[in-house]
């Protein structure tokens, strides 16, 4: 059964309570970490802040929605595994930034209903920015309505992406895409927090975002928020998003087609040493 409007309001409030509780913990631990552990892959870290923030979120969910399924980054799948409701939570998205005291990270609490992201809260405790949305209820930043940018041309866009932790173990990286799109747009950023990347597309700071190697907890909240803010989310080729594929193309909608087209045209990285990719004046310096 689809959720009622009242239920969506309730779930949004629960997600907000959980994200704010985790945010307080992240603020307390920043710069005061005693434990930073490697999860196996180079750069994939977990800290006591990740664990404490996740425990705070689980406590809130257990109090309000004890019969729902939970997929939490540090604890895995929990609760009633047959529920139509699945909470995908990342207590600290941007752990590498956080471990270095670079304050670009956020809490991400998303809810899928029947497999579709429908509620999302992303809280950045360092800028005190709260991004929220539920299907049909609109998207807000600090409780004010927000929407995606109106940029229509790729040449005028600012994009963002990220590099997955398996980047040293695979040739399937997005390095070539990053270079190629850097030359086609006004710039490509790499923030280190997929949740904030999606939230920033939703509020118009970025025009588009693509990335591979993601997990459902990285993007469920952001997908719900971005779609409600007027954005578009698909696979790279424009087909429907499969959350578990780990690959996402998320834009303001206006540049979606051209970004999707360019992503499918990216030449191999090796050709970036080719001087034909330089402007005439740069070629003159060779």
**Residues forming the site for Ca ion (CB under 5 A):** 73, 90, 92-93, 218
Collapsing DSSP to helix, strand or coil, 41 comes out as coil
Distance in angstroms (rounded) separating the CA atoms of residues 242 and 227: 15
Does 125 sit near ligand IPD (CB under 6 A)?
Answer: no
CA distance 61 to 135: 20
Beta bridge partners of 132: 121, 140
Which of 177, 218, 227, 228 is close enough to bind ligand IPD by CB under 6 A?
218
Task: Rank residues 185 and 193 by Cβ distance to Ca ion and give the closer one.
Answer: 193
Q: By C-beta, is 57 or 154 nearer to Ca ion?
A: 57
Q: Mark 15-33 as b/e (b = at least 16 C-beta within 10 Å).
A: bbbbbbbbbebbeebbeee
Angstrom distance (rounded) from CA 213 to CA 18? 26
Q: Shortest approach of Ca ion to residue 210 CB, angstroms? A: 16
Alpha helices (H) in the chain, listed in sequence order:
5-29, 48-64, 95-99, 175-184, 194-202, 216-228, 256-263, 280-284
Minimum CB–partner distance for residue 170 and ligand IPD (Å): 13
Pattern 243-272, binding to ligand IPD, x per CB under 6 A? ------------------------------
Q: What number of chain residues touch ligand IPD (CB under 6 A)?
A: 14
Residues 71-110 close enough to bind ligand IPD by CB under 6 A: 90, 93-96
Between helix 5-29 and helix 48-64 the angle, nearest 10°, is 150
Report in angstroms how near the CB of residue 155 gets to Ca ion at its nearest: 31
Span 157-216, contacts to ligand IPD by CB under 6 A:
162-164, 192-194, 213-214
Select from Ca ion, ligand IPD, none the partner in contact with residue 192, using the beta carbon and a kind-dependent cut-off of 5 to 8 Å: ligand IPD
């Amino acid at each position: 059964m689809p959720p009622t409007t009242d239920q969506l309001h309730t779930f949004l409030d629960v997600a907000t309570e959980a994200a704010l509780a985790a945010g307080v913990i992240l603020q307390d631990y920043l710069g005061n970490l005693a434990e930073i552990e490697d999860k196996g892959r180079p750069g994939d870290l977990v800290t006591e802040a990740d664990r404490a923030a996740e425990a705070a979120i689980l406590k809130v969910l257990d109090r309000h929605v004890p019969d729902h399924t939970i997929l939490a980054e540090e604890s895995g799948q929990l609760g009633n595994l047959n529920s139509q409701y699945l909470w995908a939570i990342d207590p600290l998205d941007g752990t590498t930034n956080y471990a270095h005291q670079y304050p670009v990270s956020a809490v991400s609490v998303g809810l899928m209903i029947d497999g579709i992201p429908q509620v999302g809260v992303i809280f950045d405790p360092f800028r005190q920015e709260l991004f929220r949305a539920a299907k049909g209820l609109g998207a807000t930043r600090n409780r004010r309505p927000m929407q995606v940018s109106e940029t229509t041309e790729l040449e005028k866009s600012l994009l963002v992406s990220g590099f997955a932790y398996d980047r040293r173990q695979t040739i399937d990286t997005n390095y070539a895409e990053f270079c190629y799109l850097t030359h086609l747009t006004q710039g490509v950023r790499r923030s280190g927090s997929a949740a904030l990347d999606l939230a920033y597309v939703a509020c118009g700071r970025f025009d588009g975002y693509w990335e591979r190697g993601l997990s459902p907890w990285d993007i469920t909240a952001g997908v719900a928020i971005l779609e409600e803010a007027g954005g578009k989310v698909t696979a790279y080729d424009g087909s429907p998003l499969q959350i578990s594929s780990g690959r996402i193309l998320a834009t303001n909608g206006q540049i979606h087609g051209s970004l999707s087209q360019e992503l499918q045209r990216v030449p191999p990285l090796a050709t970036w040493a080719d001087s034909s990719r330089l402007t005439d004046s740069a070629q003159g310096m060779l």
